[in-house]
Every structure is written in C-alpha cells, then in structure tokens.
Amino acid sequence: METKTQFLKSKLINWYSKNKRDFSWRNSNDPWKIFLIETLAQQTQLERADSYYKKFIKKYPSPDKMAQDSFSEVLKMWSGLGYNNRAKRLHDASKILAKQQFDEIYPNFEILPGVGKYTKSALLSFSYGDKVITEDTHVNKIISRFFGVDNVNAFILENSEKLLDGVNSRDLNQSFMDFGSTVCTKQNPKCAICPLSIKCKKYFTNKSSVQAKFKGSNREIRGKILKLLSSKDKLTKNQLAKELEVNKEKIEIALSGLVKDGILKKSSNNNFEINS
C-alpha cells in the first residue's frame, strides 16, 4: 500500500517531469552557477532572477572573473534587484572562491558570506547530488499544507529519509519549487487542479506578513544613493540629500547602514563612495 509520503513524491515528480520550467542552469551541476542563481533569486521571483543570471554568468563565468572586478562594477550589474547586501556578499564570496574552490570547502559552504541553511542545501543537492531537502518557502508551504503540520523543520528532520528514499534529490527539490510557484501558491492555490488534492490536509494557516511600504523607505533611499554614486563616484551627505531631494536625517540613516554593511566607505573629507 502506498504511503502518504510516497504519494507526495510520486505525484510531485510526475508533475515536474511534464511541467518544469526551462532554465539554462537547471541541468548544470556547476556550483558557481548554482550559487549565483540562488543568490540572485533570494527575495526575487525566479524568472526575474534568471534574466539577471544570464547577464552575470556571461560576464563572470567563474568566481575568479568576478573577484578580479571591482565591487562597483558588480553593483552596477546588480542595479534594479534591490537588497544590495546580497551583491556585496556575492563579491566577497567570489574572492574566497578565487583562492579556494567549492570542492575544497565542501560541504562547509556556510563559510561563504551570505550562505545560510537553504543555499548550503541547494549547493549540496543541485551540485553534489547529496540527499538533502532544500527547505525554502515552497517546500515548507507544501509540506505544511499536505501533512497538516506547523513545525515543518521538525517534520523534515524526522521524515527526511522517507522523503528522499528512492528519488533524485535534485528532481524532488526542484519539483517542490516549481509546484509551489505555479500550483500550490501562497495566495489562491489551484486546489481544483492539484494532483495532491485527494490526500492533502489543506492546512491553511492565517499567518501572514505585511510587507513594509517601499516608497520612501530606507531601502528605497539606499538604492537611490548607490545608483547615484555609481555615476558620480564621490559625494558628501549634503550633496546626496540635495541631489536626491531627501532630508538629511533619512540620508544619514541610509549612509550609516551602507557603511556598516561595507557597501560604502567614507573618506577623510566626508565624501562617500562605493567600497571597491
């Protein structure tokens, strides 16, 4: 008799074989390509991240190439993606990888800036074929709804062997991602056409996060500062406030954060510039 876990796996992988999205890095096991797309895709829709990936991989086919370039150049290519800390961590990671290859630091990828539990598991699964579940938002959402559980991490820890038994972890993890993006969506999931529906607990919680307004936010001001400094090289706090038409207090908060994150540096004459 087929267990509920076996049902989930077989249905997901069967669905994925017919509906998977076509991306150039999907069939690659090059850890640099996987690391690059995973960094770009953080807090960004995959289709949009993929358009940036194509530009990045063309200019930086290896971490050595990126490490040889300035952070300012990487940041220019990053423009429009937001959350510029990711660009800084990516550039810093490329410097480490120019000296130590992925194979040399395997499996301790968390030593790279910006690599947390998910990115590490993605590298292990997609590049090295290790049997791990990549616990991203789609995986957590589907498992929570299907099995009716709140503590998904504990559930995966207890059941990872069953979930991964007899399947390719790359296929299973990617099926979770595509299925969660197109069928078992966060809002208005398509339960009527869902192949998991007959055994799904349909466990929907009322948990929701309210995203902070972007217009006028510190995040928007940080982005504007970096865009301006990409073309002007150096500006003082007062010049930035005047050019961007933002009050000095908000500019000061944004500048303080950018300097603390290592994205900008302040010179002795109070000019701010992108930290290369």
Structural domains of the chain, count: 3
Amino acid present at 197: S
Residues 66-95 have pLDDT tens digits of 999 999 999 999 988 988 999 999 999 999
173 domain residue, yes or no = yes
Nearest to residue 55, comparing CAs of 71, 72, 73?
73
List the structure tokens of 44.
Answer: 């960004």
Q: How far is 250 from 215, CA to CA, in rounded Å?
A: 13
Q: Are residues 36 and 106 in the same domain?
A: yes
CATH number of the CATH domain containing 182: 1.10.1670.10
Q: Residues, the chain, total?
A: 276
CB atoms within 10 A of CB 44: 16
Dihedral angle sign, alpha carbons of residues 219, 228, 37, 97: negative
C-alpha distances out from residue 184 to 74, 117, 125, 214, Å? 35, 23, 22, 27
Indicate which residue of 38, 110, 135, 252 is catalytic. 38
Q: Is 135 tagged catalytic?
A: no
Give the structural domain span for 72. 31-126
Q: What is the pLDDT of residue 212?
A: 61
Q: How many CB atoms lie within 10 A of CB 35?
A: 25
Task: Assess whether pLDDT exceeds 90 at residue 184.
Answer: yes
Are 78 and 104 in a shared domain? yes
- Do 35 and 121 belong together in one domain? yes
Residue 205 within a domain: no
Residue 55 within a domain:
yes
User: Judging by beta carbons within 10 Å of its beta carbon (0-12, 13-18, 19+), is residue 210 exposed, middle or buried?
Assistant: exposed
Q: What is the pTM assigned to this prediction?
A: 0.86
Q: Are 224 and 251 found together in one domain?
A: yes
Q: How far apart are CA 57 and CA 232, in angstroms?
A: 27
Instruction: Say yes or no: 91 and 157 in one domain.
Output: no
Residues 37 and 93 in one domain: yes
Mean pLDDT score of the chain? 91
